[in-house]
Structure 1
């Protein structure tokens, strides 16, 4: 599942659209609006429903459709010329004809609210290459998938229930599928290069958001971004671009399971020798995981107090030891090994042979290897049989295989039977993107892109500096090994901003994994924290 972050991809190296589609991908739908002969008919479906949140029934309107977006430097006058000259070739000013994407979305609008004062939140998952089905069906939509808490969910029939943790009590919601995912498609010359990259993806989302605000008259609404996993990297760029390219300030950005700099990833950091920060930032998650599976030599009663102790050790003694490299004295090496054993439950000899540096895959494979069991990556509370008991690293993620079928199956049913969209179309929950462009130009399209791993911390810092009223909320699960919670804290505390702006950032942690919402008590806390965040920052004094 690439729902949140496919870091292995980086190591080995989303409708009112008018998009052509393969014959096996779509069937002409009724009530299609007029479109040029080269394009598929544009379809938008509207439905209604109610959901009860906090004991109050909320009536809403749902809109499912697509919006058409173009790459950077697209000139909309070309689109107008095309519309006035049927049969002419759509072209872009940068010499890439037909580079176009339709992005599928589902929007939920509260019926008894005034649009001009009602908050609106744009929601996306990550991958790269993921639709928003996970946050839509697992967290904040009006209907929610039911899955097992930390074990494999049995096969269908699955359960879809009303969602009392939907955020519709606090904000309207727009779930956006990335270019090429969901019911959206990309087309034209160099289409992958035009949409599949850090900057290209952010530009597509910027175009989507600005079009959506205009289409539905929401320019003056309090506005928020919500991104999960790679969606946090997207959000850091996306929160900056509308502010500084389109003069649109947002009230807040809400991040879940954050990674802003790939240098901090604990997925195969040995490919970047000399960079020891990933091991430091992952250690508290190792400790939380060992605590959960009762693999510690001595089991602490208080998880939070235990993690505070581990965080201190990680950022002091452990960091200093790693920085010394081969110069680390043997007596100090032995002491650090003993502490790592006490905090992770891994065998002392294994830690010694790993030179004090265990990456995420190795930890997942080794923690429960005495029972030929692999520990989860997206959510380390999950476990599954080891694919190869003799392998160095885990070959799959037990959490991903445990819940994905329920999400994808129920969304395909829900979108067609309830939202009345998608008959004859293939919904792509995830797509494989073998060559995502991780080069990033923090200063915008007119500045050189970096040669190293993507780091969007400068983008988020610029957004804070140019809009010092912007508020940021970081949410993370203790049992997330894909984007460890301490990594997110570290990145936020190292943003290049004046110290006074750190007060704009708040942190929340949960006893769950990467998909914090996969644990219902954590989902309840997540809803309450985010709803409170929005109400405190929407600049409104009275009821919405």
Structure 2
């Protein structure tokens, strides 16, 4: 009887183990999906054959359990056996919450979607062609979609809070880079970060995560495309006067483009016009805003009139706005007489408004003017060219709903993220780190002058810093001459020229 009881207990225990095993197997995620292919592209006058790997990388917790999946696309050129002679560029977009399709299909990938310059993209079919300006001739490329973008996601019971934040995002991308270097045996390769928009913020946070401790992953260079490092310098929020200084020259550039200023006053010289706009912003406009009601009436009127001459709005409108015109009001007001609004990402774009009296734009014409083409081109390329067989929803932008902007301990709700000090420190502690900043004159999302003021601070080594400009917007590669110039600038930067 005793043996019978023991046997039953053992059977029950075994049954329990089998149930637990089955439950664990049920909850465990499937193996990462990986798709490989080969390709060839003529780049910069040179034919490059390459291997492409598109797939998932699982990030794991301390117990070795998968907690998140990051989808990436890697391009490895053939014919390079010595990793020391072959740079690798880790490339991502911003948002936060954007997949890397913009830089992938717009700038650096072996195929590119070509759109009408500052015009609406319409509907399919779109023009997708070989990208003869890809940087695959000088570097391997890894396009990264952070958690919550593209096909990247959390796994199991993992909360998105662990990934959706300035530091959390940087930590996960750092771990992806570490795992990629291990898998591909590329620890001794020259390494570059290329980010656009919030991707430049990510680059700053990544430098802190990558180089901020003893387990360094040292970078050779960082390319900041349409950068935003100090958010206070482009935020036209109530009470943040410095934001109006950072964006004012971008307002001026937009007014010049749409012929809302007297170009003859500057003999048609755009560069001279912007030089004077910058000087006015810091030497006259900023002191006037800081003085507020203490500014003498005649001085107030003089600043209002001069500001109107630069940004194309009437003195009365500027006066009624207390000399502070928020971004979305400027977008709506500049061409109100024509019934259109101008773009935030690219002020050259215009969009028809439903009425003539609204305070803010219905939407951003430089956003809805391109999104359909990029999404279609990216997914067509993945499914038809690379054979990616994934039916999950591909998140272009907008899947990230909450973001922790606290970049440092003790930050408050009224503080602005500033990752510039992390880049400064990385440059001080890594003598080989170089920085290229690429800026569009007509970008009002990440204004060029705000970037200039950030990079002018004492901590930056100007001998290892290059600032480049393009007569286009946030995504300057929409403009063919700017696209070609940016490709040449990045190629030269990676080549050390």
State if a TM-score over 0.5 links the two structures: yes
Alignment partner of 1:468 is 2:431: yes
Q: 2:241 aligns with which of 254, 276, 279?
A: 276
Q: 1:375 aligns with which of 324, 329, 342?
A: 342
Match of 1:252 in 2: 221
Would the aligned equivalents of 1:101 and 1:180 in 2 still touch at CA under 8 Å?
Answer: no
- Determine the C-alpha separation between the residues in 1 that align with 2:391 and 2:174: 29
Give the one of 147, 166, 169 matched to 1:201: 169
Greater fraction helix: 2
Is residue 2:303 matched to residue 1:343? no
Which residue of structure 1 lines up, in the alignment, with residue 46 of structure 2? Answer: 56
The CA distance in 2 between the partners of 1:278 and 1:448, in whole Å, is 23
Partner of residue 230, structure 2: 261
Q: Deviations over 1:371-407 (max 9, x none)?
A: 1110000000000012443222223100111111011
State the shift of 1:312 in Å: 1.0
Q: Is the 2:27–2:156 Cα contact (8 Å) retained in structure 1?
A: no
Aligned equivalents of 1:54 and 1:216: distance in 2?
A: 26
Aligned to 1:514: 474
Shift of 1:341: 1.3
Would you say 1:290 and 2:255 are equivalent positions?
Answer: yes
Distance 2:228 2:298 in 1: 35
Alignment of 1:47 with 2:41, yes or no, is: no
Residue 504 of structure 1 deviates from its aligned partner by 1.6
Please say if residues 54 and 388 of structure 2, whose CA atoms lie closer than 8 Å, have aligned partners that are also in contact. yes
Counting only pairs closer than 5 Å after superposition, residues 390-539 of structure 1 correspond to structure 2 as 390-441=357-408, 448-449=410-411, 452-494=415-457, 497=459, 501-536=461-496
- Taking the aligned partners of 2:475 and 2:260, their CA distance within structure 1 comes to 23
Q: What SS does structure 1 have at the residue aligned with 2:212? A: helix
Residue 349 of structure 1 deviates from its aligned partner by: 0.5
Q: Encode CA deviations 1:304-327: one digit per residue, 9 max, x unaligned.
A: 121111111111011111111111
Matched-pair contact (CA < 8 Å) for 2:110–2:130: yes
- What are the residue-to-residue correspondences of 1:182-201 with 2, within 5 Å? 182-189=150-157, 191-201=159-169
| Contact 1:440–1:450 (8 Å) recurs in 2 | no
2:123 equivalent among 139, 155, 159: 155
1:190 deviates by 5.5
8 Å Cα contact 1:262/1:454 also seen in 2: yes
Distance 1:111 1:440 in 2: 40
Measure, in 2, the Cα distance between the counterparts of 1:236 and 1:108.
Answer: 24
Cα offset, 1:431, TM superposition = 3.0
- 1:10 corresponds in structure 2 to none
- Answer whether contact 2:51 2:78 (CA < 8 A) is retained: yes
Deviations 1:276-300 (A, max 9, x none): 1111111111111111111113444
Which range moved further: 295-304 or 48-57? 295-304
Aligned length: 468
From 197, 209, 212, the equivalent of 2:180 is: 212
Offset of 1:423 from its aligned partner? Answer: 3.6
Cα contact 2:233–2:247 (8 A) shared by 1: no
**Structure 1: how far apart are the matches of 2:434 and 2:31?**
40
Q: Would the alpha carbon gap of residues 365 and 536 (structure 1) be closer, same or farther in structure 2, given more than 3 Å must change? A: same
- Which residue is equivalent to 1:19? none
CA distance in 2, matches of 1:342, 1:448: 42
Unaligned runs of 5+ in 1: 1-34, 80-89, 91-97, 442-446, 538-544
Q: How much does 1:38 deviate? A: 1.6
2:72 to 88, 98, 105: 105
SS in 2 for 1:254: strand
**Distance apart, 1:411 and its partner CA:** 0.9
C-alpha RMSD over aligned residues? 1.7
Distance 1:160 1:127 in 2: 24
Q: CA deviation at 1:427?
A: 1.6
